[in-house]
């Protein structure tokens, strides 16, 4: 059974009543969750669950993962994965608490909203940094190797021999911060056929992305951009909060 992605249905709620579907190893699977699982470079949410009928019984989770997704059999949706089960990882020192939880129990799940808000800002900032790089050097952005979005910043890795100069990094930073200051609305478009397929929209940009985002660029703090050498044929551009 696929987990209901309540983080899409109710993006602003901080707690949810859900049912335990399975407990295996160090993971708890729920029938629905507000915890965003690691994906698209964004780290998974942290939070806490307590038994609905005895809130004094609680357990923390320190990661959220999406497993057993399905591929869409349609060439118009390359690399799109939908459905899947969402599992919440328990801190190894808390594993002894798992025997207080049973399949079928109702729990109230809350997420660490401070951390989620930072991840959301960081995620949107990564898109804005991408736009700023694209405006300066559009041939680079077609070769993205990966990205990592953390609460304190993010990075984009490109498959290229090109090395950005300090002047170019300064131009990218100024452009990114001007996009932030322009407070551009960034609505999410949901695919009518596959609700798990979502697009982040900002001006002329429409980027396929299932992550969590701010509602407009003005909610993103100003960023400081730098570059790093990470080996032959690769270039890393990263940001942290100013
Ligand atoms: Zn995104």
- Give residue-wise pLDDT tens across range 111-155: 999 999 999 999 999 999 999 999 999 999 889 999 999 999 999
Closest residue by Cα to residue 211 from 223, 199, 201, 195 = 199
Measured in Å, residue 128 CA sits from the centre of ligand 1 at 10
Output the pLDDT for position 95.
Answer: 93
Measured in Å, residue 222 CA sits from the centre of ligand 1 at 18
Output the pLDDT for position 33.
Answer: 98
* Cα distance between residue 67 and residue 138, in whole Å: 33
Q: What's the mean pLDDT when you consider all of the chain?
A: 96
For residue 31, pLDDT beyond 90: yes
Confidence of residue 70 (pLDDT cuts 50, 70, 90): very high
Measured in Å, residue 28 CA sits from the centre of ligand 1 at 26
For residue 79, pLDDT beyond 90: no
For the segment 216-231, the average pLDDT, to the nearest whole number, is 97
* Cα distance between residue 49 and residue 88, in whole Å: 10
Output the pLDDT for position 18.
Answer: 98
For the segment 59-66, the average pLDDT, to the nearest whole number, is 97
Measured in Å, residue 218 CA sits from the centre of ligand 1 at 16
Cβ of 140: how many Cβ atoms within 10 Å? Answer: 18
Measured in Å, residue 92 CA sits from the centre of ligand 1 at 30
Confidence of residue 75 (pLDDT cuts 50, 70, 90): confident
Is this prediction's ipTM beyond 0.90?
yes
Domain boundaries, the chain: 4-111, 115-241
Confidence of residue 77 (pLDDT cuts 50, 70, 90): confident
In 135-218, DSSP assigns E strands to 144-150, 153-159, 188-190, 198-202, 205-208
| 64 contacts 139 by C-beta, under 8 angstroms | no
Output the pLDDT for position 141.
Answer: 85
Measured in Å, residue 212 CA sits from the centre of ligand 1 at 6
For the segment 156-183, the average pLDDT, to the nearest whole number, is 97
CA distances from 172 to 53, 157, 188, 205 (A): 53, 15, 25, 17
Closest residue by Cα to residue 64 from 45, 84, 85 = 45
Confidence of residue 84 (pLDDT cuts 50, 70, 90): very high
Alpha helices per DSSP H over 137-213? 166-181
Measured in Å, residue 149 CA sits from the centre of ligand 1 at 10
Q: Do domains 4-111 and 115-241 have the same CATH topology?
A: no
Output the pLDDT for position 76.
Answer: 82
Measured in Å, residue 188 CA sits from the centre of ligand 1 at 9
Burial of 232 (0-12, 13-18, 19+ CB in 10 A): exposed
Residue 219 DSSP class = G
For the segment 93-103, the average pLDDT, to the nearest whole number, is 95
4-111 is classed CATH 2.40.30.130:
yes
| Fold assignment, 115-241 | 3.30.980
191-203 tens-digit pLDDT: 999 999 999 999 9
């Amino acid at each position: 059974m696929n987990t209901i992605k309540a983080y899409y249905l109710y993006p602003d709620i901080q707690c949810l009543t859900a049912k335990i579907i399975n407990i295996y190893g160090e993971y708890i699977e729920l029938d629905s969750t507000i915890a965003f699982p690691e994906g698209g470079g964004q780290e998974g949410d942290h939070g806490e669950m307590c038994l609905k009928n005895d809130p004094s019984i609680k357990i923390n989770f320190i990661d959220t993962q999406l497993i057993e997704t399905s591929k869409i059999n349609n060439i118009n949706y390359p690399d799109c994965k939908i459905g899947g089960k969402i599992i919440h990882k328990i801190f190894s020192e808390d594993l002894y608490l798992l025997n207080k939880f049973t399949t079928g129990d109702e729990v109230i799940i809350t997420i660490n909203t401070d951390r989620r808000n930072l991840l959301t800002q960081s995620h949107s900032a990564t898109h804005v940094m991408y736009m700023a790089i694209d405006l300066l050097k559009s041939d680079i952005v077609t070769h993205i190797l990966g990205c990592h979005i953390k609460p304190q910043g993010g990075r984009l890795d490109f498959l290229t021999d090109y090395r950005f100069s300090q002047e170019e990094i300064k131009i990218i930073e100024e452009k990114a911060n001007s996009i932030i200051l322009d407070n551009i609305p960034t609505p999410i478009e949901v695919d009518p056929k596959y609700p798990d397929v979502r697009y982040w929209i900002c001006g002329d940009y429409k980027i396929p992305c299932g992550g969590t985002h701010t509602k407009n660029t003005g909610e993103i703090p100003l960023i400081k951009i730098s570059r790093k050498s990470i080996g032959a044929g690769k270039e890393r551009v990263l940001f942290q909060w100013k």
